Amino acid sequence: MEMATKPVIIGGRTAKKPLIAALLGGFLLLGALLSIFGLTGVAYAVPISGVGEFTVQFDKLNGSGFKMYGGVAEAGNAPQTPVFVNEMDKATIQGLRISKDFPALGIRVVIVASEPVSIDGLVQKATQINGNISFGSLTMKENYVGDVQDPVQKAAQEFTQGADNITIDNGNLKTVYLFQQKVALPGMKVYFEKLN
């Protein structure tokens, strides 16, 4: 006996009320969480990832224990995006502004800090870094990585650089991942802007 399978096309509709309720609930929870950080000014082990690319801008960053190497990360538009991985033991940032556009909703979420931000244990993955940068005791080196088949992984591991300290003026970074072991955000404010 022959058994045949027929393709079945399944169609559906988006239930708008539950979708809007879930979005509003998520934004309210995010707002409450950020408000708690704003009241206390300190958060521990804060990762930001999985939301696609976002922008980190600042007037000045002073950091120590700097390391940079290549890597790959998931981004909103691709599972394997080449990135610069930046690590710092400590950083102080003046004029911090983090923003993320949500074109489908027509809004931009913006987080700013009116006072200097202090960070311990910073790890950041960026697709683009712009700014005026100076290093103290900069070391650049090429590493032997052996028989790595994936060319992206090989390129990520071959070149590294490090510095005792780093200063970036007028920083503008396109970022896909951000982690801080400890961060103090005095004068933090979260708001929404309408996209043009």
Q: What is the pLDDT of residues 31-77, one digit of tens each?
A: 766 665 555 555 444 445 445 688 999 999 999 999 998 887 766 66
Q: Is residue 90 part of a domain?
A: yes
Q: Is residue 1 part of a domain?
A: no
Q: Is residue 7 part of a domain?
A: no
Beta-strand pair 117-136/188-194: unpaired
pLDDT for res 2: 58
pTM for this model (two decimals): 0.69
Q: Is residue 14 part of a domain?
A: no
Q: Is residue 15 part of a domain?
A: no
Q: Is residue 19 part of a domain?
A: no
pLDDT for res 49: 45
Find the domain containing 58 and state its range. 42-194
Q: Is residue 2 part of a domain?
A: no
The structural domain count of the chain equals: 1
Q: Bigger pLDDT: 109 or 164?
A: 164
Q: Is residue 5 part of a domain?
A: no
pLDDT for res 47: 46
